[in-house]
Amino acid sequence: MKKFPHSPRFIGFVAASIDGRISLTKNKLPNCTSEEDWKFFQNSMKRFDAFVVGRNTYDSAAKRLQRRNTYVLSSRPKSMEENGNVKFVNPSRVNLKKLFSKYKNVAVLGGAGIYRLMAEKKLLDELYVTIEPLVFGRGREMFSGGTKTIELQLLSAKKLNKTGTLLLHYQVLH
Ligand SMILES: NC(=O)c1ccc[n+]([C@@H]2O[C@H](COP(=O)([O-])OP(=O)(O)OC[C@H]3O[C@@H](n4cnc5c(N)ncnc54)[C@H](OP(=O)(O)O)[C@@H]3O)[C@@H](O)[C@H]2O)c1
């Protein structure tokens, strides 16, 4: 694979039910994450200089994401279209590794196909998975699509509150 002068650290964040669901709907932010996880997530965002989301996730949090340097992955643009801080990028037409090479830390915020796409392109180095003590039995899966098995190594596990929200930190093994 071609090397670019800088290689950012790509770090994914996902909050899921214990049955691995990230949302009950396509276009709304999940309101089932704990206060402790929300704080962790907000604090973590401070160190990132770019943010990657799928189009549905962007639609669910457009107001917040418009204030950040956000890249929205979508099959709609011919290559890349810019609207203020937000760039709409077609990943089959744009070299993502090159596109992000100017950044230090890139946050990968999902949804389901985006974690998978970034991991398969080797653009996911670490993953924080928050497991909320809930069972949805329906809704969006954490990872979807793709054909490869992604291997990870657990770096740490932390209990965030009394109900047992777990914060798992993984390294992705490339
Ligand atoms: N709990 C969590 O941590 C968490 C994290 C993220 C999102 N969410 C929630 O999950 C829901 C959205 O997730 P989602 O999985 O439905 O959608 P998503 O991944 O945010 O967006 C899906 C869209 O992204 C684009 N896309 C995905 N893979 C692509 C590829 N390989 N090439 C080109 N475009 C690609 C496509 O847009 P086009 O149709 O424009 O081509 C696709 O329709 C929302 O409710 C959101 O709030 C929860």
Establish whether residue 93 lines the binding site of ligand 1, counting it when its CB lies within 6 angstroms of any ligand atom: no
Given the structure tokens 């107001």, which residue do they identify? 63
Q: What's the confidence (pLDDT) of residue 145?
A: 84
Alpha carbons 85 and 170: distance in angstroms, whole number: 30
Q: What's the confidence (pLDDT) of residue 1?
A: 52
- Distance between terminal CA atoms of the chain? 13
Q: What's the confidence (pLDDT) of residue 25?
A: 81
Alpha carbons 103 and 101: distance in angstroms, whole number: 6
Ligand 1 pocket test: which of 34, 51, 56 has the largest number of ligand atoms within 8 Å of its C-beta? Answer: 56
Q: What's the confidence (pLDDT) of residue 3?
A: 55
pLDDT digits (tens), the chain, 174 positions: 555 556 899 999 999 999 999 999 877 777 789 999 999 999 999 999 999 999 999 999 999 999 999 999 999 999 999 999 999 999 999 999 999 999 999 999 999 999 999 999 999 999 999 999 999 999 999 998 888 899 999 999 999 999 999 999 999 998
Which helix (DSSP H) or strand (DSSP E) does residue 113 occupy? helix 112-120
Ligand 1 pocket test: which of 87, 109, 114, 167 has the largest number of ligand atoms within 8 Å of its C-beta? Answer: 114
Q: What's the confidence (pLDDT) of residue 27?
A: 74
What is the 8-class DSSP label of residue 6?
A: -
Q: What's the confidence (pLDDT) of residue 144?
A: 86
Cα-based angle 69, 74, 75 (whole degrees, multiple of 5): 150
Q: What's the confidence (pLDDT) of residue 165?
A: 97
Q: What's the confidence (pLDDT) of residue 2?
A: 54
